[in-house]
Amino acid sequence: AGTLLVLINSAREDASLQGVGLGLESFERVLASSFGQWQALRLPLIVAMGILLLGRINSWLLAGAGTGEAPAPRRWWAAWFVLSATLLLTIPFSGHAGAHDLRTTAVVNDFSHLGFGATWITGIVALSYLLPGGWRRRGEDLPLSLLAPTVDRFSRVAFWSMTVVVVTGTINTLLHVGGWSPLFDTGYGKTLLVKLGVVTLILSFGAVNHFILRARLNEALKESGPSKHAAILRRNVKTELLLGFAVIGTTSLLVGTAPPA
């Protein structure tokens, strides 16, 4: 739906620039551009990914956790990786990175930034909603024996994902802002500062989860006792998820704003 709205909005802008009403010619001009072609490529990729996901995500999310379900085969993951990587590439190629003088550097950096950011926020969604929700459908709360190792594994993924996001985000700032003055004096720079503030909050919650709550949950698991830290963790990851949506919101504003560099 988002991709269709982008194409429709682009056609409306084209019609406005041409001084004519919205018609087939405007869509043809948009689809003849590099931007329109990369956006249009998203549609068959999304349909293919939807077919791969259909009816699989709930069973495979809990695979190996006492459900008797087999994990997804490697050929499924290979197909998913190719489709998702291509879908992800359509964003930098149709955005600011694709128009940069250092195009290859900007595209590779933006692709890495988006990929690791997506890995982090998808893990947060799984940890806060999908995993406990799938388990409760069995009539039980998520046990500590599953929560503790899941948090332990994801915290490592999240740590390195956010590390890459911070590094690539810094490079993006250098590529698209170019200096201290535009960071504070332009709309793009001010929006980026808001995004950086939200990311700093995310990092603080992530640090608590990684360095404190993870250890507390593992200790409770070894002692085979209940842990109050599970509730704290759930609250933290839900807060992280809300902050992640705020980052996506500010990023969408950046995408629609011309960078000063």
DSSP string, 40-84: HHHHHHHHHHHHHHTTTHHHHHTTTTTS-PPPPPHHHHHHHHHHH
Q: Residue ranges of the alpha helices (H) in the chain?
A: 2-18, 24-32, 34-53, 57-61, 74-93, 103-125, 131-136, 144-176, 180-185, 187-208, 214-223, 229-255
Question: Can you give the pLDDT at residue 168?
Answer: 96
Mean pLDDT by 10 residues, the chain (261 residues): 93 93 93 94 94 71 59 82 95 91 94 94 86 72 81 91 95 90 90 93 90 86 76 88 92 88 79
Distance CA 88, CA 118 (A): 10
Residue with tokens 């799938």: 134
Contact 96, 255 (CB under 8 A): yes
CA dist., res. 254 & res. 148, Å (int)? 37
Single-letter amino acid code for the residue at 25 = E
Check: CB of residue 45 under 8 Å from CB of residue 83: yes
pLDDT score for 66: 55
DSSP 257: S
The pLDDT assigned to 57 comes to: 64
Q: Cα dist. 169→102, 119, 164, 242 in Å?
A: 16, 15, 8, 20
Residue 5: which residues within 8 A CB-CB, separation 6 or more? none
Q: What is the pLDDT, as a whole number, of residue 158?
A: 92
Q: What is the pLDDT of residue 142?
A: 73
